[in-house]
Amino acid sequence: MVIGLTKKIRRTAFLLLIGLTGAAVVFILNIILGSVNIPLSEIFHAFSASDDKTVYHKIITDIRLPRACAALIGGSALAVSGILLQVFFSNPIVEPYVLGISSGASLFTGMVILIGFRLGIVALGNTGMFLGAFIGAMAVSAIVVIASQNVKSITTLLIIGMMFGYVCSAAISIMTAFADRERLASFVIWTMGSFSGFSWQQTILMYLVISPVILLSFLLSKPLNIMLLGEEYARSMGIAIKPFRAALITVSGILCAAVTAFAGPISFVGLAVPHIVRLIFGTQDNRIIIPASCLYGAIMSGICDLASRTLLPPYELPLGAMTSVIGAPILVFLLLNKRGKDGRF
């Protein structure tokens, strides 16, 4: 038994090392590949050159480096947000996008972008976009939580979340009819999802918001494991269910809002990555799943962002479409392979 436990620990450590290495490789590829391919040796030369106005230096430091950093932390945030919601609802097919949380964040961010200038909200800049996304995410989250208290069927709950997503989409369509043409163009591009055009200010703000929240999520991993055994058992273990639920929704909403505010609505990462990690690691232990999802979520987001801008240059494909195209086949393959081995998911 001890030998089996040691083998499992070694396997977990090995898979985490693969995730860390993969994230580093994807990060480097996002810097060197693009419309202008940069040799790996030129990266160090660009930073060490006495003339910091070289072409490579500008491309790396002003465009690709902040974008690559944003893609990694954004993928981590969406993956962890999906884990929290799946544990909260005891359902493996929920994520911020499915439950309409991303749509709520998009609606309020759209208000800031399309009509915020009339109310003076635009003066808040990045802070205003984050606040709008956070309010929208939390508003829909609160509605879904209330509905979950009165609805027993998970299918009904998912339909409610989808309906709120449709309502938010309808509200956005109405706003676009009265929006300024220039702002409308920028909003349409934003809705496609992309880490393009990220500034260092936006990237730093994302890290300042997301990093401590992900750390908090990891600190919640033990009560999350207890919640897997049911609310009654969790209550018997001394967990205050209502405050804990509020904490989960708040943390998930912040992670979703921080990404949606700047990169737009990105689907599938929060749904696919937790599944992929659970199947690869063969465990439900959130002390392992959360850090692993951070790494593999960063990898998936980085790969999708790289593919979106390199597959059909000079055109850039919507990031949300790439996450579905790349993530869905991987998830289906892993699920079918798992079923083939032990006859169950």
Rounded to an integer, what distance in angstroms lies between the CA atom of residue 119 and that of residue 261?
Answer: 18
**Structural domain includes residue 4:** no
Assess whether pLDDT exceeds 60 at residue 170. yes
pLDDT in the model for residue 341: 44
Q: Is the model more confident about 157 or about 274?
A: 274
Closest by CA position to 12, among listed 333, 344, 278? 278
Which tokens hold the place of 176? 């676009």
Q: Which domain holds residue 94?
A: 10-342
| pLDDT for residue 327 | 72
User: Is residue 2 in some structural domain?
Assistant: no
Report the range out of 148-152, 225-229, 328-332 with the highest average pLDDT: 225-229
In this model, does residue 288 exceed pLDDT 50?
Answer: yes
The pLDDT of residue 345 is: 38
Q: Which two tokens stand for residue 249?
A: 């929704």
Per-residue pLDDT tens for 2-36?
A: 565 688 888 889 999 999 999 999 999 999 887 77
Number of domains in the chain: 1
In this prediction, what percent of the chain has a pLDDT beyond 70?
Answer: 86
pLDDT at position 50: 53
What pLDDT does 343 receive? 34
Report pLDDT for 342.
Answer: 39
pTM: 0.84
The one-character DSSP state at 61 is I
- Residue 29: what pLDDT? 92
Residue 46 lies in a domain: yes
Binned at pLDDT 50, 70 and 90, residue 334 comes out as: low
Q: According to the model, what pLDDT value does residue 344 have?
A: 39
- Whether residue 57 is contained in a domain is answered as yes
SS (H, E, C) the chain: CHHHHHHHHHHHHHHHHHHHHHHHHHHHHHHHCCCCCCCHHHHHHHHHCCCCCCHHHHHHHHHHHHHHHHHHHHHHHHHHHHHHHHHHHCCCCCCCCCCCHHHHHHHHHHHHHHCHHHHCHHHHCHHHHHHHHHHHHHHHHHHHHHHHHHCCCHHHHHHHHHHHHHHHHHHHHHHHHCCCHHHHHHHHHHHCCCCCCCCHHHHHHHHHHHHHHHHHHHHCHHHHHHHCCCHHHHHHCCCCHHHHHHHHHHHHHHHHHHHHHHHCCCCCHHHHHHHHHHHHHCCCCHHHHHHHHHHHHHHHHHHHHHHHHHCCCCCCCCHHHHHHHHHHHHHHHHHHHHHHHHCCC
Q: Provide the mean pLDDT of the chain.
A: 80
From CA 166, how far away is CA 162, in angstroms rounded? 6
Closest of 271, 258, 256, 277 to residue 324, by C-alpha: 271
pLDDT for the residue 293: 93
At 197 the pLDDT is: 78
pLDDT at 46 over 70: no
Model pLDDT, residue 290: 93
292 lies in some domain = yes
Quick check: 42 pLDDT over 50? yes
- Collapsing DSSP states into helix, strand and coil, what is residue 187? helix
pLDDT at residue 138 greater than cutoff 60: yes
**pLDDT at residue 340 in the model:** 42
Q: Are 82 and 273 in contact (CB under 8 A)?
A: yes
Distance CA 128, CA 109 (A): 8
Q: By the 8 A CB rule, do 88 and 248 touch?
A: yes
Is 3 inside any structural domain? no
pLDDT at site 52: 58
Residue type, 118: R
- The pLDDT tens digits for 190-247 are 777 888 878 888 899 889 989 999 999 998 888 888 888 877 888 888 888 778 877 8
Is 138 among the domain residues?
Answer: yes
Q: Is 278 a domain residue?
A: yes
Could you list the beta-strand ranges (E) of the chain: none
Residue 119: what pLDDT?
Answer: 52
Q: What is the mean pLDDT of residues 30-44?
A: 80
What's the CATH code of the domain at 165? 1.10.3470.10
| Pairwise pLDDT comparison (327 vs 200), residue with the higher score | 200
Q: What is the pLDDT of residues 66-103, one digit of tens each?
A: 999 999 999 999 999 989 888 877 777 777 777 778 88
